[in-house]
Amino acid sequence: MVEGDGYLVRLMDLGLERLKKMIMDIGEYSAKTVFLAIDSYSQGEDLMDHLYIRSNEIRKMYDEVNELAVELIARYQPVASDLRFIKSCLEIGYGFLRFSRYAFDISQVLRIFGEMTSCDKSNVIRVGEHVKEMVKKSIEAFVNRDINLAKKVKEMDVFVDKTYLDALKMASNSKNVKCTISEVLILRYLERIADHATYIADSVTYIISGERVTN
Amino acid sequence: MIGKKSVSVEKEIDRIRSLYKIETENLNAWFGNKHVLKDISLKIRVNAVTAVIGPSGCGKSTFIRCLNRMHELVPSARVEGKVLLDGVNIYSREIDPVLVRRRIGMVFQKPNPFPMMSIFDNVAAGLKLNGVRDRKRLYEIVKRSLEQAWLWDEVKNDLDKSGASLSGGQQQRLCIARALAVEPEVLLLDEPTSALDPIAASKIEQLIVSLKKNYTIVIVTHNMQQAARVSDYTAFLYLGKLIEYDETSRIFSNPKEELTENYIAGRFG
């Protein structure tokens, strides 16, 4: 079988397409999970049980990605860009798994701390929106094989890191323990989500260029 | 100071030269009017396995047959350019091709033991041609060569049996032992496992890796996974040209050339 550009359609290509589709599905689902967690904080809604179920579903989806990746390696002994793609799908899938785990952690903070209407949520909401954009862009970079977008995600991480560290430094002066601890914890989880979005973006760069991104 | 510097530069040149057993410079080869190798320049590392890969007809076998002056044995074949063995051009007029072939042994795709000879005589054949007559010395070298080829334990009680009585994989190891007996410095392997079953091929692959400690090895293979498993460096030839030459780990993870990528990934062949 020959494609339009004259190259063979290989048996492995069918598997690689399936793997890509699975990664896109898990990406979409885990992004939605992160968005739910962030929105539940700003809206004061307890979604912990729901996010726990979603997080477990994502674990199962990631296991399926893992199995397919190993099967493709065992069956076809991929090399070069094929091998980089499979390896990166495992890393990216793991990133999505972490997204959902931190989303659950955010919801757990809400459950434990309860009602927080008196807290100033503006910092978390601002970072939350920023992290949502990073998550969206990291997935978009993977789907469209877009190195420039991947770079943009990496640049966006600086703001999250800074905001988290500033909040941490200020925490010792705070008088409202409940508001401060919940804010710092959630900023910490958002910072971790942002880091994983950055790793996903780095994996996209690696798939395309073959070069590892150095920090 | 200037004198000191030039000594160190010479030493550096020697050091770099000692890294490479064979260097080809603008190597061209023809069969009649057919130009089959085009300006191949590459340096083959000493005590390493270098794989030559590429689709059928790309010039892989011709390339390694130029490395020990076997190409010129074909009527109408012609070579231009240089092949340096330890810095000396083997195509110089004063070089005896028979001596070159003694230093650079070769094993072929199909095991080809001398069918009428015993296992012992197969390995000893090259030694006898070179004038070794002492029975004890012959035995020692035959034993050592068979041990190096990982065949001794399997044949030590059957040395008088015909080489043709062995299995395909054993016959190929016998051919490797025969090549090793004359103590070459380089071993050229032209698709040495393509006629063997996977288990026999796997033994040959392990043997190749173990031999690089003492020999410089160049292997032509159609099997990309085999190149990835056994070699330290890989050269990709296409239509008689050297497209890419790099560390094997680099070639199989992130080749520089799109043509290499498409070939090793099986997008054409």
> Using the 8-state DSSP alphabet, how is residue A78 labeled?
-
- pLDDT tens digits along A160-202: 999 999 999 999 888 899 999 999 999 999 999 999 999 999 9
| Distance, CA of B203 to CA of B38 (rounded, Å) | 34
How many CB atoms are located within 10 Å of the residue B10 CB? 10
Tokens of B211: 């031999």
Tokens of A178: 């409940």
Least CB–CB distance from B228: residue in A6, A8, A79: A79
pLDDT at B6: 66
| Distance, CA of B20 to CA of B185 (rounded, Å) | 12
| Shortest distance, CA A84 to any CA of chain B (angstroms) | 7
Domains of chain B by start residue, with CATH: 19-264 (3.40.50.300)
Alpha-helical runs (H) found in chain A = 11-43, 48-76, 80-113, 122-144, 147-171, 177-209
Q: What residues are paired with B42 via a beta bridge?
A: B24
| pTM as predicted | 0.84
Three-state SS for A89? Answer: helix
- pLDDT tens digits along A116-154: 888 999 999 999 999 999 999 999 999 999 999 999 999
Residue among B53, B224, B256, B267 with most chain A CBs within 10 A, to mutate: B267
Chain A residue numbers with beta carbons less than 8 Å from the beta carbon of B259 are none
| ipTM reported for the complex, 2 dp | 0.76
Least CB–CB distance from B254: residue in A6, A12, A80: A80
Residue among B226, B236, B253 with most chain A CBs within 10 A, to mutate: B253
Chain B residue numbers with beta carbons less than 8 Å from the beta carbon of A210 are 253-254
Contact yes or no for B259/B243 (Cβ under 8 A) = yes
| Distance, CA of A83 to CA of A72 (rounded, Å) | 9
Do residue A10 and residue B267 have CB atoms under 8 angstroms apart?
yes
- Tokens 């910092």 correspond to what residue? A123
Do residue A83 and residue B261 have CB atoms under 8 angstroms apart?
no
| Distance, CA of B191 to CA of B60 (rounded, Å) | 10
Least CB–CB distance from B262: residue in A7, A84, A211: A7
One-letter amino acid at B30 equals: W
Size of interface A-B (CB pairs under 8 A): 38
Contact yes or no for B179/B152 (Cβ under 8 A) = no
Sign of the alpha-carbon torsion through A166, A172, A174, A179? positive
Residue among A8, A10, A11, A79 with most chain B CBs within 10 A, to mutate: A79
Do residue B261 and residue A80 have CB atoms under 8 angstroms apart?
yes
Decide the pairing of beta strands B104-107 and B186-190.
parallel
Do residue B265 and residue A82 have CB atoms under 8 angstroms apart?
yes
Do residue A81 and residue B265 have CB atoms under 8 angstroms apart?
yes
| Distance, CA of A43 to CA of B55 (rounded, Å) | 63
| Distance, CA of B51 to CA of B223 (rounded, Å) | 10
Half-sphere exposure of A174 (CA within 13 A, CB side): 18
- pLDDT tens digits along A72-93: 999 999 999 999 999 999 999 9
pLDDT at A213: 82
Do residue A79 and residue B268 have CB atoms under 8 angstroms apart?
no
| Distance, CA of B237 to CA of B36 (rounded, Å) | 11
pLDDT at A214: 73
Radius of gyration of chain B (CA): 19
pLDDT tens across the length of chain B (269 residues): 445 556 678 777 777 768 999 999 999 999 999 999 999 999 999 999 999 999 999 999 999 999 999 999 999 999 999 999 999 999 999 999 999 999 999 999 999 999 999 999 999 999 998 888 999 999 999 999 999 999 999 999 999 999 999 999 999 999 999 999 999 999 999 999 988 889 889 989 999 999 999 999 999 999 999 999 999 999 999 999 999 999 999 999 999 999 999 999 998 87
Chain B residue numbers with beta carbons less than 8 Å from the beta carbon of A84 are 253-254
The closest of A180, A35, A40 to A120, measured between CA atoms, is A180
Least CB–CB distance from B268: residue in A7, A78, A210: A7
| Distance, CA of B187 to CA of B265 (rounded, Å) | 28
Tokens of A196: 């994983």
> Burial of A80 by CB count in 10 Å (0-12 exposed, 13-18 middle, 19+ buried)?
buried
- Tokens 């990309």 correspond to what residue? B224
| Shortest distance, CA B249 to any CA of chain A (angstroms) | 10
Residue in chain B nearest A211 by alpha carbon? B254
Residue in chain A nearest B256 by alpha carbon? A210
One-letter amino acid at B1 equals: M
The closest of B98, B77, B90 to B25, measured between CA atoms, is B90
Tokens of A139: 């997935």
Chain A residue numbers with beta carbons less than 8 Å from the beta carbon of B255 are 80
A contact set with B (CB within 8 A): 6-8, 10, 12, 77-84, 210-211
| Distance, CA of B22 to CA of B45 (rounded, Å) | 7
The closest of B58, B80, B182, B79 to B124, measured between CA atoms, is B182
Least CB–CB distance from B252: residue in A12, A80, A211: A80
| Shortest distance, CA A83 to any CA of chain B (angstroms) | 7
Do residue B266 and residue A12 have CB atoms under 8 angstroms apart?
yes
| Distance, CA of B167 to CA of B172 (rounded, Å) | 9
pLDDT at A9: 82
Do residue A7 and residue B255 have CB atoms under 8 angstroms apart?
no
Residue in chain B nearest A80 by alpha carbon? B253
The closest of A134, A143, A155 to A204, measured between CA atoms, is A143
Q: Would you list the DSSP string of chain B? A: -HHHHHHHHHHHHHHHHHHEEEEEEEEEEEETTEEEEEEEEEEEETTSEEEEE-STTSSHHHHHHHHTT-GGGSTTEEEEEEEEETTEETTSTT--HHHHHHHEEEE-SS----TTSBHHHHHHHHHHHTT---HHHHHHHHHHHHHHTT-HHHHTT-TTSBGGGS-HHHHHHHHHHHHHHT--SEEEEESTTTTS-HHHHHHHHHHHHHHTTTSEEEEE-S-HHHHHHH-SEEEEEETTEEEEEEEHHHHHH--SSHHHHHHHTTS--
Least CB–CB distance from A8: residue in B255, B261, B268: B268
Do residue B255 and residue A80 have CB atoms under 8 angstroms apart?
yes
Chain B residue numbers with beta carbons less than 8 Å from the beta carbon of A81 are 261, 265
Radius of gyration of chain A (CA): 19
Residue A3 pLDDT greater than 70, yes or no: no
| Distance, CA of A94 to CA of A71 (rounded, Å) | 17
Largest CA distance in chain A: 70
| Distance, CA of B123 to CA of B175 (rounded, Å) | 8
